[in-house]
Chains A and B, each alone.
Chain A
């Protein structure tokens, strides 16, 4: 499966970034003004040492206060303006970050709604979720803040260089001499720091996993008396974490003072050279102090730039993951003509939708799964008149869901056609079909919310009366009313607070309220308590009346009543007919039936 790639790419790859461009487009205007503000902030940052120089030369050295009032006023106005600009650009940055994050999340979410179910079958939910939530956030934070930080740093460093060169190129060159060394060292360290930090994070998540296991499995651990083993394994992880955290700290603790040291080195050089110049009268005190400030101040932005570049390279992985998801192909897509007429899954044109009777025809259908090499259906023909109940029978893994997947257009025939009411279903939109099919899974999935919310999912504008009527139709209401809060009972995430039987009944009600002409049902095999099982049997027989239906069936009582039974074995349909016809054939179905009867005698 899609494992996490911990390896770090060390090279900047513009191709990756190009894919991000369309998402940045809406923010170009905002970018521009934030950058403009940034320039102003950087310029005022550069100006501050010059104010200091002015103060030294005009007040402190001549020991005068002439013009101090005006100076103070100008200074205060400048810092006030700068404060305003800081407010403005930080708001701008957060807005860019958050709106970009929102757009990326939305784009992935929208795309996920279109991806085929086969994608979900082979990709873990946690993996997809991380793409939608954390990767997008990381990218947005980087673009929102780091891109602008690097811009500020660049302007600042450049501005300081220019200012220094204009003021005194002699001293300027001294400061600049230190810069390359600092930049190179930073470059070397940032890469390493990033690698170690990643390792620390990965051990950290292992530790979280260990806590998870230790605590979720605590009861089991007690019965097996393996508490000591667990503790030993856990302390191995924390030892490892301890070592690596200290390693990361050591790198940082060495690196940060080192960078500040370079600042001091530059300041010392300025002091030495500048001192002579002042003594010789070639330089004033104010200029000396301004240069010392520049020397001390220029190193940090350089360090910051190096850090951000390292971050940029590290974030490439996140971009690749997100764009990888967005580039994932939709195997089943409505043609442009179909979308033109019927709308897509987000904005359907219901006014153009034809009513449906529910006649289904497989015409010369051959099919193989996208990841399989063998055809599981070959030249299959079957015409199901509207209102027919079809039972699909076979052992686990025999391929019973293939027909259902095809009929629901979760997969499309490799060759041949499937016609609904005589029209190839590819000539209509997927949403049109899905809106007319009711689908009940063996392991029903409910959404968190109340029972009422869940039933309403089948018909979004349903009234409470309709919801209760649907529940009554499938005999779910007796079970629901027994619950303390009735229809307002909270079902928990995935319906985890309810029993399987209760979930099944509610998913029936949800399917029935939509009143679909076609019904697909995966009958449960799990032994629910006898009473609920009886209710479910009732629900099945009541819902099927007057609808075309496919049932993946296990119970004889269901199968016997079907108009048509399809017997599946090793991925192929080997027998078809009614119960009596199949028994007369004395084939596979017959042997299954006799075995089941024998099994009963045995127990």
Chain B
């Protein structure tokens, strides 16, 4: 728990004062809340009744100066006004305490969220490869929500309950020790009881959540697979499966509900027993002249006030472990090492030759690239052919330092400069890599294309889109470049997505461009169009095309064939054709398959 609090307080710089205000104003609110029964006690015992006042001397001096008991008896309005005043002050401080607590909590959580987001953006590529997206998102949302619940609700409740117990005990003990002990006995018992209860049903809650998850998945699969369901006439089967899961989920909740009902009933019973104990012991004490009527009433109302917060404490305490788990999960992300800023990084000319010198790279224990050496002349088009797992994508990732090359495993230079000396963001802006599975943001198509070139005009966007053979398709959409991509907008085909990604990179006008299998879902004709427009920038930009499709590579000046992370063939397309190796074989196989196609369609996956 201490570790969790430390994590949370890391984000409280500058807003700690709100926590302080919360404590003070909660204390005051509690104080005024407890004052009202005291006024009633005073009224019952002293004003209406005939008991001695039992008030601090300075208050009594003041009351005496006003006219003492007789004065008060004739102006009960004043006492009512005091009650109202207490209530007002209680409300006021309760308001202040809630507001300051919320300001504290929301500030902390906002910072936590921003930090988490920023950190995920700065974490290295390899971290993102290793971690599951769903899991990270869950940590950033659900786990943060658990922490938020703790900071914004439970923390205030803990403070308040603690103050409630302290203040009420102090006041109770000052009135009557015996009766106070009766009240005191119940507090730990109730807290203990509800802590044990909530810890024991946590597992049941989890089971319910899991069953709900299963039911949701069942429905979702039925909906996404509706065509298969219909085609096989499996409605009955689906309904049976749904019913089974639905019943299980319902049953688990009904059972949990029974347990919860028992808890509530027992909780009410405990409160009732507490009150009757106070009444019974109070009656005995009163019969021995050890308790006044006013004091009795105060005890009863204090115990009513304590009942709920004390019961809630059990729940909060049992939730502590949940908060600890969540903060630990968040810490996992925050503690992962991000890419470091590079004040020393240089910004050289990027149009020179790209040279791989004895480059080796392994991921985990798997060597991906083995002692690779080759040169890509500046301004030329360089093709890389290789099957899945041949290490061709690693080359792209190494070139713009998505993966960092370790010391002693060779080096990569651009224009003679080791890329490790080049400022990382400068390098990435100048080596435009189009990933195989590009991600489009849920913005408009126009915004997606210009995302790395803010402030671009529509004509510029259209020019890039046209170069990526995309302009025509986009203009065909009802809203053109203002079409929103994704969940709520238009779903683009795989090929269209890849073309948006290509246009996006073209917008950056990088001197080096790498297309990492980024036309795999584009049909051959469009592929050819894109390559034709790339040919126009030839000379001014170095272009690296990585593909498993021969056609895509045919126009390259030079082609490297990779096999198991090593160079299998290297040369001009003509040379490789003549050589009759992997390149030639792949060419023949692919053109045979292509000739069988009557109609080429763009891949819709």
Contacts and interface: CB of A to CB of B under 8 A. Distances in A.
Given A213-B441, A229-B451, A555-B596, A410 B280 contact: no
Given A120-B226, A222-B125, A264-B83, A592 B599 contact: yes
A79 B221 contact: no
A109 B222 contact: yes
A129 B487 CA distance: 14
A422 interface: no
A578 interface: no
Interface string B117-131: 110111101001100
Interface string B94-117: 110011001100110010011001
A262 to B, nearest CB: 9
> Which one of B95, B238, B284, B598 has the highest number of Cβ atoms from chain A below 10 Å of its Cβ?
B598
A85 B265 CA distance: 8
A242 B106 contact: yes
A64 B79 contact: no
B233 to A, nearest CB: 4
Given A260-B94, A554-B601, 13 more contacts: A71-B280, A90-B265, A95-B254, A215-B133, A218-B123, A218-B128, A219-B129, A245-B106, A272-B76, A346-B239, A434-B233, A596-B598, A603-B591
Nearest to A73: B276
A238 B107 CA distance: 10
B605 A500 contact: yes
> Which one of B291, B297, B594 has the highest number of Cβ atoms from chain A below 10 Å of its Cβ?
B297
Contacts of A253: 94-95, 98-99, 102
A223 interface: yes
A223 B242 CA distance: 44
Interface in A511-549: 514, 520, 525-527, 530, 533
A83 B268 contact: yes
A483 interface: no
17 contacts: A75-B279, A83-B266, A94-B261, A129-B216, A133-B219, A208-B141, A209-B487, A214-B117, A216-B439, A224-B451, A231-B114, A246-B99, A272-B79, A285-B293, A442-B604, A526-B521, A527-B603
B237 interface: yes
A121 to B, nearest CB: 10
B135 to A, nearest CB: 10
A257 B602 CA distance: 64
A60 interface: yes
Q: Tell me if A's interface is mostly helix, strand, loop or mixed.
A: helix
Interface in A16-70: 51-52, 55-56, 59-61, 63-65, 68
Nearest to B602: A396
A526 B121 CA distance: 34
Nearest to A279: B48
Contacts of A109: 219, 222, 239, 242, 246
> Which one of B141, B291, B501 has the highest number of Cβ atoms from chain A below 10 Å of its Cβ?
B141
Interface stretch (B39-47, B365-373, B378-386): B39-47
Contacts of A82: 268-269, 272
Contacts of A435: 232-233
A289 B298 CA distance: 10
Given A102-B246, A556-B598, A271 B79 contact: yes
B235 A346 contact: yes
Nearest to A507: B228
A330 interface: no
Top 4 A-B pairs, shortest CB-CB distance: A94-B257, A79-B272, A264-B87, A439-B231
B439 A264 contact: no
A271 B76 contact: yes
Nearest to A252: B98
B223 A129 contact: yes
Interface stretch (A110-118, A152-160, A183-191): A110-118
A176 interface: no
Contacts of B293: 56, 60-61, 285
B59 interface: no
A289 B294 CA distance: 10
B80 interface: yes
Contacts of B11: none
Contact of A292 (B40, B234, B239, B601): B40
Interface string B392-435: 00000000101000000000000000000000010011001111
Contacts of A257: 90-92, 94-95
A76 interface: yes
A457 B125 contact: no
B593 interface: yes
Interface in A453-488: 457-458, 460
Contacts of B44: 285, 288
A217 B246 contact: no
A219 B439 CA distance: 8
B83 A267 contact: yes
Interface in A559-574: 559
Interface in A265-314: 265, 267-269, 271-272, 275-276, 278-279, 285, 288-289, 292
A6 interface: no
A208 to B, nearest CB: 5
Contacts of B505: 223-224
A242 B107 contact: yes
B588 to A, nearest CB: 10
Nearest to B261: A90
Given A60-B286, A125-B220, A275 B43 contact: yes
Contacts of B258: 91, 94
A597 B595 contact: yes
Contact of A493 (B114, B217, B266, B428): B217
Given A87-B261, A257-B91, A346-B235, A222 B402 contact: yes
B273 A79 contact: yes
B536 interface: no
A239 interface: yes
> Which one of B262, B269, B505 has the highest number of Cβ atoms from chain A below 10 Å of its Cβ?
B269
A271 B80 contact: yes
B595 A525 contact: no
B106 A246 contact: yes
A95 B257 contact: yes
B76 to A, nearest CB: 4
B225 interface: yes
Contact of A129 (B118, B219, B598): B219
B589 interface: yes
A308 B40 CA distance: 33
Interface string A400-434: 00000000101000000000000000000011001
> Which one of A225, A267, A288 has the highest number of Cβ atoms from chain B below 10 Å of its Cβ?
A225
A174 to B, nearest CB: 11
Interface stretch (A354-362, A365-373, A443-451): A443-451
